Amino acid sequence: MNRQVEALNILVVEDSKVTVKVLGNYLAAMNVSDPLIAENGTQALKIYERERPDVVLLDIKLPDINGFEVARQIRQMEGEHEWAAIIFLTAMNSDEDLAHGIAAGGDDYLVKPVSEVVFHAKVRAMQRLIGMQRRLVEVTRQLDSANAELQRLSTTDALTGIANRRSLDYFMEREWRRCLRMKKPLSLVMMDIDYFKLFNDKYGHQAGDDCLKKVADQIARAAPRGTDLAARYGGEEFTLVLGETDQDGAMWIAERVRQMVAELKVPHYATSSKFVTISCGVVSVLPDEHTSLEILLQSADASLYQAKRGGRDRVVAGQYGKF
């Protein structure tokens, strides 16, 4: 009993009605019915483009273009993860013909008149190859998805969902070089949730985590451009990197973030407003050979310290190189 050839879409490219009938009978015996039929190369290419068959039984001698050219064009149309098994149908069986067919993109030959036993064996062989190719594509997709997720996890803070310190360091280096090259200013906003330890002690760590996530969401909303990045610097401290932004622009954004956090109205007994607030330090610089990213970070951190020492819930503009 012939085993069923499952889930194969087969295109027969043959101008001989007799051969088409014979091959159709062979396929019917394998429980494959209604193959796609093309009488010439032009039809075959149109059908391939529309249907993307798994197997192409391709006569070499066709009324318009020969089978070698049809095979070459099929290979050119295939997508990254696509592969059709191409079996040439021919009366030619010399070594040169075989080499020519393989070079054109063919996978095997069937010599006319086609033997039913050989036909069944070769179609089943192609079925196995197609099955392996499909499994390989699926495994590749799964690996790509897993790698993308690993990349996301490696650059994202697990709690807040914004960039982590590793991603921040990479982004700052990239933006520093870009702004240096473009002769554009680069600004940093360092932010800290006011009296966060007291918040945790009073309301618990779950409430603390919820607070961090809410604050991070507001900070991220202030960094929509590709030249901006919102990141968790560590603990309750956050950073905004603002490419192509001067001190005035950075001060405006920092003040807006401060207001947005205050508008959350998360209760906090230890602040003067009785709601969660943040302090912000802002420093800008025009990168050149006399400046450095490290000093910019130290300057922004110093300005944040000034905001906290000055009463918190405020934005303080710092000066590059002043600690």
Catalytic, out of 39, 175, 236, 255: 236
DSSP E strand boundaries for the chain = 10-13, 36-38, 55-59, 85-90, 108-111, 186-193, 228-234, 237-243, 278-285, 315-317
**Could you give the C-alpha distances from 287 to 180, 181, 263, 296, in angstroms and in order?**
5, 9, 35, 10
Torsion sign (Cα): 308, 309, 314, 318: negative
- CA–CA distance, 196 with 191 (Å, rounded to integer): 12
Residue 70's CB is within 10 A of a number of other CB atoms, namely: 29
Torsion sign (Cα): 102, 107, 112, 118: positive
- CA–CA distance, 163 with 186 (Å, rounded to integer): 18
DSSP E strand boundaries for 28-84 = 36-38, 55-59
Closest CA to 176 of 224, 229, 238, 235: 229
Is 236 a residue of the active site? yes
Amino acid at 177: R
- CA–CA distance, 88 with 86 (Å, rounded to integer): 6
Active-site residue list: 236
